[in-house]
Structure 1
Amino acid sequence: MFTAAIVSDQPISRAGLEKLAADSGLHVAATVADVGELLALGQTFDAVVLELPAGGTDSIARAATVGRPLVSAAWGRTPSLLAAVRAGARGCFSSFTEQRDVREAVGVIVRGGFYICPRLVGQFQGELARGADDEPNGLAPREVETLRFIASGFTHAQIATRMGLSQATVNTYAKRIRAKLNVSNKAELTRMAIELGHCSQPRRLSRAAA
């Protein structure tokens, strides 16, 4: 059975998201108020259903180190959908999303897919067309995701498992990242990840390969 964690600072929202996840056939292994509390558990999950506080994408990036984030937000203000995806979101929905669509999103995410709520597709396409929040160093979304995992202490083999890729593909991403950021080792990659806002602080995480 796939596992999920629920993250929301609103008790009613936590209860609703927990029920939706359970109705989707997931085992809800954790229900917490914020990402810091989630990370303190020292667990990994197949999906992290995250109700995003107003502001930046740091909580998405941090949640992505322990599971695939499915993010709920208003999306009418910062961050944009594209910024959320580049921070590591594997799916996005809003408070207006139909419950059946949320259940579908959960199923897609835990199997390694990507999901945008039908209500948000037009907005997402518009952001893609405008190039909203372009990554200044030219990193592609999957390269940003790889960079976050590297900076968080995961090995290339573990990153491949988390991202549903071959280790050779992750190795290629890592080489591209080093070239684009003009760095030569993992310490420099971690420093750049912090400077670019893709990792809040260097963390040495021990993860058993799944």
Structure 2
Amino acid sequence: MSTPRRIVIVDDHRIFRAGLRAELGASVEVVGEASTVDEAAQLIRQVKPEVVLLDVHMPGGTGGGGAEVVKMCRDLLENVKFLAISVSDQATDVVAVIRAGARGYVTKSISTEELLSAIEAVAEDDAVFSPRLAGFVLDAFGTSGFAEDVRDEQLDRLSAREVEVMRLIARGYTYREIASELFISIKTVETHVSKVLRKLQLSSRHELTRWAERRRIV
């Protein structure tokens, strides 16, 4: 049996946090709760969970809500993943929190089973969205967005982070520039590139660039 994912719940409604904790039960390990932007950022830095379930609208900080929490923790994004969970399905809310660095966005109407699946996917660095919200992300980030929905057998082999790295490589970014852009180490960039080349059966970044251009994901 796998070890439960360590999560933090961030929402300014205590009753919702309690209900969510009860629904998820022993399937996850809730290592903390927060109700404001500043409280959330401090807690996340202290306990470093695998996944943060993050409300979009909450008090504190400079008024940026969930997106501000993600920005305040950007240096942790390699290991701490953010999954927005909100009553809002507005495009502006979705795009803001994803642009900040969250790996997914679901609405509070999601079932417990679906939420557990989303938590697991985000923990593995995949992108997750409630069905009608994915379109907002694709519209905002274009076909080169990390939530790429192209049904390509080869592309499907890549994780969301590997797609991000591939796109930047194809745009001519250096490893150092990619590391800075994605808030990860150069060593991690090298690892991702090696995995991408192996999965796509390519031998160089030049071949990788041509591959990405053919699929219009540059």
Q: TM-score band (shorter)?
A: 0.5 to 0.7
Q: Where does 1:95-134 land on structure 2 (aligned, <5 Å)?
A: 95-129=108-142
* Offset, 1:125: 3.3
**Counterpart of 2:114 in 1: which secondary structure?**
helix
The equivalent of 1:40 in structure 2 is 42
Task: Give the aligned CA root-mean-square deviation in angstroms.
Answer: 3.6
Q: Where does 1:154-173 land on structure 2 (aligned, <5 Å)?
A: 156=185, 166-168=188-190
The equivalent of 2:89 in structure 1 is 75
* Offset, 1:167: 4.6
For 1:115 and 1:16, how far apart are their aligned partners in 2? 22
* Offset, 1:116: 1.0
For 1:29 and 1:15, how far apart are their aligned partners in 2? 13
Give the residue type in structure 1 aligned to 2:121: V
Structure 1 runs of 4+ aligned residues shifted over 6 Å read 140-145
For 2:75 and 2:20, how far apart are their aligned partners in 1? 20
* TM, length-normalised to structure 2: 0.55
Give the residue type in structure 2 aligned to 1:37: E
For 1:101 and 1:10, how far apart are their aligned partners in 2? 22
Q: Does 1:5 align with 2:5?
A: no
Give the residue type in structure 2 aligned to 1:168: E
The answer (yes or no) to whether the contact 1:21–1:28 under 8 Å persists in 2 is no
Number of positions where the alignment pairs a residue of Structure 1 with one of Structure 2: 151
Q: Which digits, 9 at most, give the CA deviation of each residue in 1:22-63, with x for residues without a partner?
A: 35x211000111242233342201000011116642122225
Residues 145 and 63 of structure 1: CA distance in aligned 2, closer, same or farther (over 3 Å): farther
**Counterpart of 2:92 in 1: which secondary structure?**
coil
- 5+ residue gaps in structure 1? 133-139, 161-165, 172-210
Residues 62 and 147 of structure 1: CA distance in aligned 2, closer, same or farther (over 3 Å): farther
Higher helix share: 2
Larger Rg: 2
The answer (yes or no) to whether the contact 2:56–2:97 under 8 Å persists in 1 is no
Give the residue type in structure 1 aligned to 2:14: P
For 2:23 and 2:9, how far apart are their aligned partners in 1? 10
Q: Which digits, 9 at most, give the CA deviation of each residue in 1:159-179, with x for residues without a partner?
A: x7xxxxx252689xxxxxxxx
Residues 14 and 37 of structure 1: CA distance in aligned 2, closer, same or farther (over 3 Å): same
Q: Where does 1:135-150 land on structure 2 (aligned, <5 Å)?
A: 147=180
Residues 20 and 146 of structure 1: CA distance in aligned 2, closer, same or farther (over 3 Å): farther
Give the residue type in structure 2 aligned to 1:61: K
* TM, length-normalised to structure 1: 0.57
**Counterpart of 1:78 in 2: which secondary structure?**
helix
For 1:125 and 1:167, how far apart are their aligned partners in 2? 24
The equivalent of 2:25 in structure 1 is 22
